[in-house]
Chains A and B, each alone.
Chain A
Amino acid sequence: MNPAYSVIFFTTASGAGYGLLTWLGVAVLFFDLPAHRWFGLAAFAVALTLITVGLLASTFHLGHPERAWRGLTQWRSSWLSREGVVAVATYIPAGLAAIGWVFLTNNDGIWAWLSAVAAVLAVVTVLCTAMIYQSLRAIPRWNTPWVMAGYLGLALASGALLFHFGVRTFGLGFAWSGWAAALLTIAAWAIKLAYWNSIDNAAPRATAETATGLGHLGKVRLFEAPHTGDNYLMREMGYKIARNHAKRLRTIALILGGAIPVVLAVVATQLPDVTAALVALLAVISAGAGLLVERWLFFAEAVHTISLYYGTDAA
């Protein structure tokens, strides 16, 4: 699949934003996070900006962005539509909770429940995003529950790193959130490794033989493509990445997104607030870079069954 930058940016940025919203809700509900005005302002601003910028970026690849609202109508059948609906719905409790936190410095009672609802909707949005990809049978490597686990894991891990950076910056204590972020990051990348392992070892779901129905004659090979030039299908779905190239990028993603943030988050737990905040920021930046590489690979490595009609043996 062609890795479109708008979709890579959308899924990583809004994923991190929804992850942060989730941890705000959890921290308010279970860990009695104080309603610190400036922390609240910064945290909600970062979360909602990441989400909004991501959602806007995702409309850039539309042929008709002005009709984007129509995408909210088919939630009965379409995961893309469901994602849009839940994404928009999340703004309501998140926005209200932000108002209570920032203007009334209150995150108890009803405000806490609004944060909790926002957290639940944030998780559902990330799951809907994952289901857009996971539900596509025509891309067999995506048609596995590891996709959903990976999207959720990475969103929660990147959100936790952001949360950790926030609490240390505003000196709210919660130094243990560095440990939590590190553990979540390890879990998320363990899921990712399991996904890579599963796609490397999966038996082909479809072959050139089943795509043409000519398998009874023997091995099927493309003799002549329909035309000598390019076409939309090959541009959008025929993207191929060399195996060695992918391997190297996986290592880079794992180091930038997993190893470095884990080490930095743990180091931050041992430091005083100001230096801890700086180290936590470095962890966020490194994790972001790793996520972009990981998401690029998610698309670039996926083989669409259309390639079977253009010279690929198996998908």
Chain B
Amino acid sequence: MTSLPQSPPATKLGLVIDLDTCVGCHACAVNCKEWNTGGHSAPLTDLEPYGESPLGVWFNRIHSFEAGDGAEGRTVNFPKSCLHCDEPACVTVCPTGASYKREEDGIVLVNPDTCIGCKLCSWACPYGAREYDYTDGVMKKCTLCVDRIYNENLEEVDRVPACVSTCPASARHFGDLGDPNSEVSQLVAERGGYDLMPEMEMQPVNKYLPPRPAKTSTGDTGAPAALPDHDIAPVEATGRGFLAWVDRTLSR
């Protein structure tokens, strides 16, 4: 059923992604691929993996942006996966009922047995969270590792999405964003976590933590603020002597 749940999910499992600490190592994307190519949506097909133009299914991608100029300018690594929106247009446009939002935890999933591969959900998602598998002919997407987070065969500490468990910078946090007292909700409140493209009115569950203010001055290390000027006369092309001759010859 592609209508949204009658009562909005009270539990909203999702991710909080810290743009301040992400180092852009792509480990989350790699571990995501590794887990999910054997999980709920397996396989995550690659086409021509060693060929001229490799193409593959990925649920997680790390972009990198420059924001601002000069001293205030930043380079920000920007991981992006499905935001498991509260008002997911990708679900309501689905003509078959293959796409659905779970009432119990808000996770957005695709049933690969009923998906007809019309790709309309990927058109409806403003964020690019949906991935078509050309080989299977069905749409796939981030499952929030639904096959890990409830998996009693795993140690409790491992019952988090693959991207979260592997992040070496602790830039990805997993939890219930529907509970204002959860660790992730408090993190969002503390750091001013925000929604991507709120104007699209999808009400994403995943939140992003902004980069902390950049340091624009150094601490006092005792070093001089600037090095003293030394008069180093440039070699002029019109000058005399051996170096000037070399310079002129090379400049010809």
Question: Interface residues, chain A, CB within 8 Å of chain B?
Answer: 1, 61-65, 67-68, 70-74, 76-81, 84, 132, 135-139, 205-206, 208, 210-227, 229-233, 235-237, 304-306, 309-310
Contact flag A232-B57 (CB < 8 Å), given A74-B94, A78-B95, A211-B197: yes
Complex-state Cα separation, A63 to B121, whole angstroms:
13
Q: Is the CB of B199 within 8 A of A80?
A: no
CB-CB < 8 A to B196: which residues of A? 210-213
Q: Is the CB of A218 within 8 A of B93?
A: no
Find A139's partner among B2, B118, B123, B137 (CB 8 Å cutoff): B123
Q: Is the CB of A206 within 8 A of B128?
A: no
Q: Is the CB of B54 within 8 A of A218?
A: no
Find B55's partner among A73, A232, A306 (CB 8 Å cutoff): A232
Interface size on B, residues (CB 8 A): 70
In this complex, what residue of A is CB-closest to B62? A226
Complex-state Cα separation, A214 to B114, whole angstroms:
39
Complex-state Cα separation, A78 to B1, whole angstroms:
10
Q: Is the CB of A62 within 8 A of B117?
A: yes
Complex-state Cα separation, A221 to B64, whole angstroms:
9
Q: Is the CB of A138 within 8 A of B64?
A: no
Find B96's partner among A67, A208, A236 (CB 8 Å cutoff): A67
Please list 23 pairs of residues, one from A and one from B, whose beta carbons are closer than 8 Å in the complex, sorted by A's number.
A1-B123, A62-B118, A63-B133, A70-B97, A74-B1, A74-B96, A135-B93, A136-B93, A136-B124, A138-B125, A138-B126, A212-B76, A213-B194, A214-B76, A219-B67, A220-B67, A226-B63, A227-B61, A231-B56, A231-B58, A232-B132, A305-B200, A306-B128
Complex-state Cα separation, A178 to B25, whole angstroms:
66
Q: Is the CB of A224 within 8 A of B69?
A: no
In this complex, what residue of B is CB-closest to A233? B128
CB-CB < 8 A to A306: which residues of B? 125-128
Q: Does B234 contact A (CB under 8 A)?
A: no
Q: Does B16 contact A (CB under 8 A)?
A: no
Q: Is the CB of B1 within 8 A of A212?
A: no
CB-CB < 8 A to A235: which residues of B? 55
In this complex, what residue of B is CB-closest to A82? B95
Q: Is the CB of A73 within 8 A of B73?
A: no
In this complex, what residue of A is CB-closest to B75? A223
Q: Does B119 contact A (CB under 8 A)?
A: yes
Find A236's partner among B63, B78, B122, B136 (CB 8 Å cutoff): B122
CB-CB < 8 A to A73: which residues of B? 95-97
CB-CB < 8 A to B155: which residues of A? none
CB distance from A65 to the nearest CB of B (A): 8
Contact flag A138-B198 (CB < 8 Å), given A77-B3, A219-B68, A219-B69: no
Complex-state Cα separation, A211 to B197, whole angstroms:
5
CB-CB < 8 A to A223: which residues of B? 64-66, 75
Complex-state Cα separation, A90 to B127, whole angstroms:
36
Complex-state Cα separation, A84 to B57, whole angstroms:
29
CB-CB < 8 A to B115: which residues of A? 63-64, 67
Q: Does B74 contact A (CB under 8 A)?
A: yes
In this complex, what residue of A is CB-closest to B140? A232
Contact flag A218-B67 (CB < 8 Å), given A71-B118, A77-B3: yes
Q: Does B9 contact A (CB under 8 A)?
A: no
CB distance from A215 to the nearest CB of B (A): 8
Q: Does B8 contact A (CB under 8 A)?
A: no
CB distance from B215 to the nearest CB of A (A): 14
CB distance from A72 to the nearest CB of B (A): 8
List of 10 A-B pairs having minimum Cβ-Cβ separation, nearest first: A63-B117, A63-B137, A218-B68, A226-B61, A81-B95, A217-B67, A138-B126, A224-B64, A71-B95, A217-B68
Q: Is the CB of B74 within 8 A of A217?
A: yes
Q: Is the CB of B68 within 8 A of A222?
A: no
Interface centre among B78, B98, B131 (most CB of A within 10 A): B78
CB distance from A147 to the nearest CB of B (A): 14
Find A210's partner among B4, B78, B197 (CB 8 Å cutoff): B197
Complex-state Cα separation, A284 to B92, whole angstroms:
38
Contact flag A222-B122 (CB < 8 Å), given A135-B93, A217-B68: no
In this complex, what residue of B is CB-closest to A66? B116
Interface centre among B65, B75, B97 (most CB of A within 10 A): B65
Find A212's partner among B2, B29, B78 (CB 8 Å cutoff): B78
Interface centre among A72, A78, A208, A306 (most CB of B within 10 A): A78
Complex-state Cα separation, A229 to B58, whole angstroms:
13
Q: Is the CB of A212 within 8 A of B116?
A: no
Q: Is the CB of B126 within 8 A of A213?
A: no
CB-CB < 8 A to A62: which residues of B? 116-118, 137
CB distance from A56 to the nearest CB of B (A): 14
Complex-state Cα separation, A216 to B214, whole angstroms:
13
Q: Mark B185-221, 1 if CB is under 8 A from A, else 0.
A: 0000000001111111100000010110000000000
CB-CB < 8 A to B4: which residues of A? 77
Complex-state Cα separation, A235 to B128, whole angstroms:
12
Interface centre among B29, B96, B124, B210 (most CB of A within 10 A): B96
Complex-state Cα separation, A229 to B46, whole angstroms:
12
CB-CB < 8 A to A218: which residues of B? 67-69, 72-73
